[in-house]
């Protein structure tokens, strides 16, 4: 029985599967579902899911926040369509893995769900760096989905 599920979302197809899985599990277990996202800045671009927008650099805190909100809004709508409410949205421009692990502790998550891979292009590796680091560091159950 899971009480609090945290899903890490970067806008990739893999994260999309993680989102669906996490929403399904939250429904079955009656668990609270939290969403975590860290917009990745690749100056002078900011990556918001598969969408890249041109920015003057460095991006301001407001631009980072807006980029994060853009992608999490979409995720929240998709979860809602599955009949599940999102209990918390956590956005930061920290490194993804430490922020995911820290948010898991703060929300007392008993399950973290994330994609096996993300937006990265190194398809030779079975696990991306974020899913590896989170699997290593998690103090609770951790599910990586394909």
CA–CA distance, 111 with 123 (Å, rounded to integer): 26
Of residues 27 and 133, the one with the C-beta less far from ligand ATP: 133
| Rounded least distance, CB 10 to ligand ATP, Å | 3
118 binding Mg ion? (CB under 5 A): yes
**Single residue of 5, 109, 115, 142 touching ligand ATP by CB under 6 A:** 115
- What mask, x for binding ligand ATP by CB under 6 A, covers residues 92 to 111? ----x---------------
Phi then psi for 75, rounded to 5 degrees? -65, -40
SS3 94: coil
Strand partners, 6: 34, 112
Contacts with Mg ion in 87-116 (CB under 5 A)? none
CA–CA distance, 96 with 33 (Å, rounded to integer): 18
The first and second tokens of residue 35, run together, are 């969403």
| Whether the Cβ atoms of residue 48 and residue 62 lie closer than 8 Å to each other | no
Instruction: Return the range that interacts with ligand ATP (CB under 6 A); candidates 57-65, 77-85, 102-110, 126-134.
Output: 126-134
Q: How many residues bind Mg ion (CB under 5 A)?
A: 3
The entry of ligand ATP, Mg ion, none near residue 117 (CB within 5 to 8 angstroms by kind) is ligand ATP
User: What percent of the residues of the chain are helix, what percent strand, and what percent coil, each to the nearest 5?
Assistant: 40, 25, 35
Contacts with ligand ATP in 40-59 (CB under 6 A)? 40
Phi then psi for 48, rounded to 5 degrees? -120, 95
Per CB under 6 A, residues contacting ligand ATP are 8-10, 12, 14-15, 18, 36-38, 40, 96, 114-115, 117-120, 122, 128-131
């Amino acid at each position: 029985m899971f009480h609090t599920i945290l899903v890490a979302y970067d806008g990739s197809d893999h994260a999309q599967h993680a989102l669906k899985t996490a929403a399904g599990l939250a429904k079955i277990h009656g668990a609270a579902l939290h969403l975590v996202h860290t917009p990745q800045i690749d100056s002078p671009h900011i990556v918001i899911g598969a969408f890249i927008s041109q920015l003057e650099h460095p991006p301001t805190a407001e631009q980072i926040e807006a980029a994060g909100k853009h992608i999490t809004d979409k995720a929240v709508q998709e979860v809602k369509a599955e009949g599940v409410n999102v209990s918390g949205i956590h956005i930061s421009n920290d490194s993804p893995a430490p922020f995911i692990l820290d948010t898991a502790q703060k929300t007392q998550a008993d399950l973290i769900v994330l994609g096996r891979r993300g937006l990265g292009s190194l398809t030779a590796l079975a696990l991306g760096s974020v899913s590896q680091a989170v699997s290593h560091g998690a103090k609770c159950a951790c599910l990586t989905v394909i």
